[in-house]
Amino acid sequence: MSAPLPDLLQIDRALEEVFDERVRQDERWGEQNHPTVGGAGPHAGLVIHANYAYEAERWKWSNGVRVERGRLTWDGILLEETYEALGEVDPTRRREELVQVAAVAVAMIQHIDRKAASASE
C-alpha cells in the first residue's frame, strides 16, 4: 500500500512562512557566511564533525528503539537529521542532509497545523 499524497497546499503554506522568515533574517542580519562548525585550532572542526556524526548514530539507534516501541517522536527525527548534517564533512552530502532537515521541519509544521485544525473542528 502506498503512502497518502501530501497536502500540497499545506506544504506550500509552510514553505511560504519559511521563505518569509528567510527574508526577515537577511533584512536583519544581511547575507551570512559563517563556518559550518567552529572551534579553536586547525583540527577542531574535524573533531566537532566526528562528535556530531557520533550523535547522529546515537539518535539513529534511539529512533530505532522508539520505532520498535511505537514511540517515535519528531524531536528524535529532527535531531538525527540535524546531527547527520552537522557531522557530514563533504559539502555536497551536507547540503543533501540539510535539505532533509528542512523537510523534517516542514513536516513538523504540517503536523502542528493538522492538530490545530482538528482541535478547532
- Boundaries of every domain in the chain: 39-119
Note the pTM of the prediction, 2 decimals.
Answer: 0.87
Q: What is the pLDDT of residues 28-53, one digit of tens each?
A: 999 999 888 876 667 778 889 899 99
DSSP letter for each residue of 100-112: HHHHHHHHHHHHH
Report in angstroms the alpha-carbon separations of 94 from 22, 74, 114. Answer: 20, 21, 30
- Residue whose C-alpha is closest to residue 60's, from 50, 48, 72, 70: 72
pLDDT of residue 27: 98
Q: Residue 32, exposed/middle/buried by CB under 10 A (0-12, 13-18, 19+)?
A: exposed
